[in-house]
Chains A and B, each alone.
Chain A
Amino acid sequence: GEDVEQSLFLSVREGDSSVINCTYTDSSSTYLYWYKQEPGAGLQLLTYIFSNMDMKQDQRLTVLLNKKDKHLSLRIADTQTGDSAIYFCAEKLSTLTFGKGTMLLVSP
């Protein structure tokens, strides 16, 4: 397909792990990004991964990249209610192309 695709919704309980998945379009993408958007706010850069890496860990966040399948995932460990937001993946070719976002709802 020609779009960056993400599942639309994920619901988890506080303390569980969350895994948000993304399929991107172009195997020549150089960087892949995860952004977080809270209601009424702009996008906050969470993390990014260079295309020659398989995994990147940053505190509670783990990014996994499968270049063969053009699949990117974001795992949030020990999910908190403050993690409730919309999460966007984006791929960089000449410009950034974003998915439609995954709404993460964390219940107490």
Chain B
Amino acid sequence: EAGVAQSPRYKIIEKRQSVAFWCNPISGHATLYWYQQILGQGPKLLIQFQNNGVVDDSQLPKDRFSAERLKGVDSTLKIQPAKLEDSAVYLCASSGPGRGYEQYFGPGTRLTVT
């Protein structure tokens, strides 16, 4: 079974530029999550989708971050404009019908804002 795919793996941009990340979850997983992991910290949830609807975006900085999950499969996360403090690893995860609500993570996109 293929895992969660993310691209790009690395991105370097200047502050005030825009950037987008892409995620393809595990086939059949209805729930998709985007996390931000700052160096030395655990992942922090940014947004959770159930199919193509938003379940929780309470920690998403909506003035600069946006996310969508068209057709309930792939998802994109966008930052516009980027700030220095957005430098982090952006992790996508998905979960399916397992009884433990287990989340499976992709390899992440490491963003550096200069």
State the CA gap A41–B3 with chains docked (Å): 13
Per-position 1/0 for B85-114, Cβ under 8 A of A = 000000101000000111111111010000
Point out the residues of chain A lying under 8 angstroms from B103, CB to CB: 45, 96
State the CA gap A29–B6 with chains docked (Å): 29
Query: Contacting B41 at CB < 8 Å: which of A31, A40, A92, A100?
Result: A100
Interface bracket on B: 20 to 34
State the CA gap A107–B91 with chains docked (Å): 29
B45 touching A96, Cβ below 8 Å: yes
Point out the residues of chain B lying under 8 angstroms from A81, CB to CB: none
Q: Which residues of chain B have a CB within 8 Å of any CB of chain A?
A: 4, 6, 40-45, 48, 56, 91, 93, 100-108, 110
Q: Which residues of chain A have a CB within 8 Å of any CB of chain B?
A: 4, 31, 33, 35, 40-45, 48, 50, 88, 90, 92, 94-96, 98-101
